[in-house]
Chain A
Amino acid sequence: MKLLSLRSVLEKPMVIEEISLSEMQVELGEPLVQMRGIVKIFPGVVANDNVDFDLYAGEVHALLGENGAGKTTLMNILFGLYSPDEGEIYVAGKKVEIRSPRDAIRYGIGMVHQHFKLIPTLTVAENIALSLANAPAINPSKHLVEEIERYSKRYGLEVDPSAYVWQLSVGERQRVEILKALMGGARALILDEPTTVLTPDERDELFKTLRRMADEGCGIVLITHKLEEALSVCDRITVMRNGRVVATVRPNEVVAADLAKMMVGRDVLLNYEKPPSEIGEVVLRVEGLRVLGDRGLVSVDGVSFDIRSGEVFGIAGVAGNGQSELVEAIVGLRKVESGRVEILGRDVTNQPTSRVLGLGVAYIPEHRIERGIAPDLSVVENLILKSYRNPPFSGRLAMNTDYVREWGKRLVEEYEVVTPSIDAPVKLLSGGNIQRVIIAREFSQEPKLIIASHPTYGLDVAATEYVRKKLLEQRRRGAAILLVSEDLEELLALSDRIAVMYRGRFVGVLEADEITLDRIRVMMAGEEEAS
């Protein structure tokens, strides 16, 4: 008897399981998921403070907010990664308890994380098979191929089921993640900052797909901090700040500035004032630079330009057209094949990075975590990375700890770095604050030349505004600035001149009065201007 009852428990572990969005009829416009009064407290922080959130069938719903506003926490609760301290969740109108992602998937809720959870050495089909509870036991990937193709076609998620994941581009990997969720029965799909890793084209593709999925009856939550995304593709926008919902609006009811204000809690500068600055001597001169890329192909092919003090020289271009290699060659991280780099009249071609940077060059690297910081070291220790070698930071052997701390505290205040203390490991900081640490370190030395690669990439609105303001401050002070960015608005807002790079060459250099968005777009596609 006892055995029997045990078995029945094992076979039917949960009663609530009957509810599943994938099998239930929820009409378009009806709520798929409702969250009511969600409270989640982490030690020292109220991450979600009495939050209500609805997702309807057939809508793309933006969850907009600054880093740390509580959007990801809220969605992690919905996906069963955290359990809420208070509050209720309803799926298709029925109250449920979601204790794990497995529960969430059963209810028809899927999530695509910022960092993909795919196994690179397996094929697409194998990865999907792994995630499906009901995949056939023997040679599952083979049986799945057809199924995958069916889903691919239906939602426009093109991907080769037999390709290995390591062969795929980031965008394709994201598609695999979405397929995984859909084939797992997801009807409510959460995407966490899906566009940060995508190229503009891939991003457009994704949005088309999302639209199609919504039309098929899915509900989609798009976690983002980018205003234009929220405004352009979403049906509704819920804005969060400090763990609370500020408002839920429709895109036609608001303009970008309104949303920015809701997110940040004050008026935000979207258009920067750029007073004319005094243009001085030539700080950086690049002549006929030729550089090879990682695969040994020519990446920078005979590029020449000058930057003078007080001037922002922007480089526009689709990623992968030689911008990164150009910057690396200038700072000495990549070998120059031919040509010449001069800083303040001194030839620094193929000089070690430390010498180049020692000439008063500030460098804000493209990969800020990989290159810009020592993640395990404290905030203050990261702040002295460029200056620790010299007095008063250190003597012959020993560090001058007192001075360093004093100085670190001042910088943290001055640059408004939000950190528990100057001794906290810098890896615990948010992306925006890490960038502040880097900028504080680089700008505090009054650099003559600033090389900034994608300085606001991945940052939220407030942090982006801050970085841009700081760059303009440096321009006013008389620094020469090389700005590489994919964000055309940023380039337009900050640059005095803009070069457009295509396949290793400058397609053209636009002077201040020639710059328009359309001209740059045309040139980015490689078409030279006939001017």
Chain B
Amino acid sequence: MEKKEAPPKWMEVLVPLVSVASALLIAGFFLALQGIPPLELYSKMLAGSFASYHGISYTIVKTIPLLLCGAGLVLAFKANIWNIGAEGQLLMGAVAATWVALYAMPSAPSYLVIPAMFAFGFIAGALWGLVPGYLKSKLAVNEIITTLMMNYIAIKLVEYLIYGPWRGEEEWGFPITDKFPEAAWLPRIPGTSVHIPTLILALLSAALVYLLLYKTKVGYEARVYGSNPEAARYAGISSEKVILLVMAISGGLAGLAGVGEVAGIHRRLRYPWSISCGYGFAAIIVAFLARLNPLAAIISAIFLGGLFVGGDAVQMAFGLPVGVVNMFNGLMLLCLVSGEFALKYRVRVK
């Protein structure tokens, strides 16, 4: 097995298509064995995620947090900083937004409370990212472990808040906070759950990460550091500055996603896994499917969002257990990742 030099451009487009097609073929074979017509199932799936108004709108709903987290992770991974903590950073953004909406400014008008939620959400996510960033830059603690651990701390913190001090007064003792005042509800596209401000922020985040990486000094420094920390040191690039900045922005963007989920979808804080559904982890796949290109992350986030959404159409129409849907999604990702591999490496058998 050896690394290929730069693959030709058309391969970069063709390989993912072939990967998707082979996933469909393999899954189709097993479905047909079970007596389920694969074509019918795929058309349902497609209709479920992309070919109906509802499907598209919910695909976008999923795309928003995936893209915000994914754009941040592209930045981090470009700098070779392994932020596995987007999940926790997202939750901290959600906590900050809840604090703003329910406790800090419960009676403020929309034009104040909504920007405040996003601002504090960004800060909270950034701080959550800065802790491992600080440990990495000062003490050389491996960020994979710390960011991962910080996820669990965030989960426990949310649980503590909803069972403890923030348990809703109007909620019959259930572990959820009260609903946000209406001023703190993010406006949605009518008839859908698409929260507009976060959608705009998500698209902007991809563009901004692109500009940051390729048009600014700090982005350049981050890429040099990511490609070769020794060369960065030699060029006088401060690794501390790069690590802290990257973790802050990466965490902050995930924090924005958290704001969107609580203020745009749930309008309250609730169980951590209800808020996030693992967006922070799925965003890792988003970043890599985009080959660490922030603009391509828009496409990969939509793709992954659609995959999640398409699954339940299948469940309903064919009465398939949810495991089959998950298997299908897993197969799709496996084929895409293998395709990526085939693109970068040449495998020799004996």
Contact = CB atoms under 8 A, between A and B. Distances in A.
B236 A388 contact: no
Contact of A353 (B224, B234, B350): B234
Contacts of B227: 374-377
Nearest to A354: B236
Interface string A380-392: 0100011011000
B156 interface: no
B322 interface: no
B232 to A, nearest CB: 7
Contacts of A1: none
Contacts of A371: 228, 230-231, 234
B217 A333 contact: no
A123 B309 CA distance: 53
A428 B6 CA distance: 8
Nearest to A369: B228
Nearest to A377: B227
A10 to B, nearest CB: 15
A114 interface: no
A30 B218 CA distance: 64
Given A381-B220, A394-B217, A374 B233 contact: no
Interface in A360-375: 363, 365, 370-375
Nearest to B5: A428
A350 interface: no
Contacts of A397: 216-218
Interface string B38-59: 0000000000000000000000
Interface string B205-219: 000000000011110
B350 A374 contact: no
Contact of B223 (A102, A333, A374, A389): A374
Nearest to B221: A388
A398 interface: yes
A352 B223 CA distance: 21
A389 B228 CA distance: 18
A399 B217 contact: yes
A457 B232 CA distance: 23
Contacts of A424: 6
Nearest to A393: B217
A370 B236 contact: no
B231 A399 contact: no
A209 interface: no
A81 B348 CA distance: 9
- Max count, chain A CB within 10 A of own CB: residue among B215, B220, B223: B220
A371 B233 CA distance: 9
B231 A374 contact: yes
A100 B228 contact: no
A353 B233 contact: yes
B217 A388 contact: yes
B7 to A, nearest CB: 11
Interface residues of B, number: 23
Contact of B216 (A331, A398, A425): A398
A221 to B, nearest CB: 21
Nearest to B6: A428
B235 to A, nearest CB: 5
| Listed residue (B220, B227, B235) with the most chain A CB atoms within 10 angstroms of its CB | B235
A401 B350 CA distance: 47
Nearest to A396: B217
Interface centre among B216, B224, B231, by most chain A C-beta atoms within 10 angstroms, is B231
B8 interface: yes
Contact of A385 (B8, B217, B226, B235): B235
Contacts of A363: 234
Contact of B350 (A100, A357, A425): A100
A305 B29 CA distance: 77
A265 interface: no
A116 to B, nearest CB: 15
B217 A373 contact: no
A315 to B, nearest CB: 20
Nearest to B211: A398
A288 interface: no
A398 to B, nearest CB: 5
Interface in B223-278: 223-224, 226-228, 230-237
A212 B228 CA distance: 43
A43 interface: yes
Nearest to B231: A374
Given A394-B217, A397-B217, A398-B217, A377 B234 contact: no
A398 B232 contact: no
Nearest to B80: A376
A455 B314 CA distance: 64
A81 B349 CA distance: 11
Contacts of A377: 223-224, 227
A399 B228 contact: no
A29 interface: no
Contacts of B224: 374, 377, 381, 385
A358 interface: yes
A377 B224 CA distance: 7
Interface in A166-209: none
Interface string B332-350: 0000000000000000101
Nearest to A427: B227
Given A394-B217, A425-B6, A353 B236 contact: yes
A480 B88 CA distance: 54
A370 B229 CA distance: 9
Given A385-B224, A425-B6, A428-B5, A374 B217 contact: no
23 contacts: A43-B8, A81-B348, A100-B350, A333-B234, A352-B236, A354-B235, A357-B235, A357-B236, A363-B234, A370-B228, A372-B231, A374-B228, A375-B227, A376-B226, A377-B223, A381-B220, A381-B224, A385-B224, A385-B231, A388-B220, A397-B218, A399-B220, A428-B6
Given A357-B236, A371-B228, A375-B228, 8 more contacts: A331-B234, A353-B234, A370-B228, A374-B223, A374-B224, A394-B217, A399-B216, A424-B6
Closest 9 interchain pairs by CB?
A354-B236, A374-B227, A376-B227, A374-B224, A385-B235, A374-B228, A371-B230, A374-B231, A394-B217
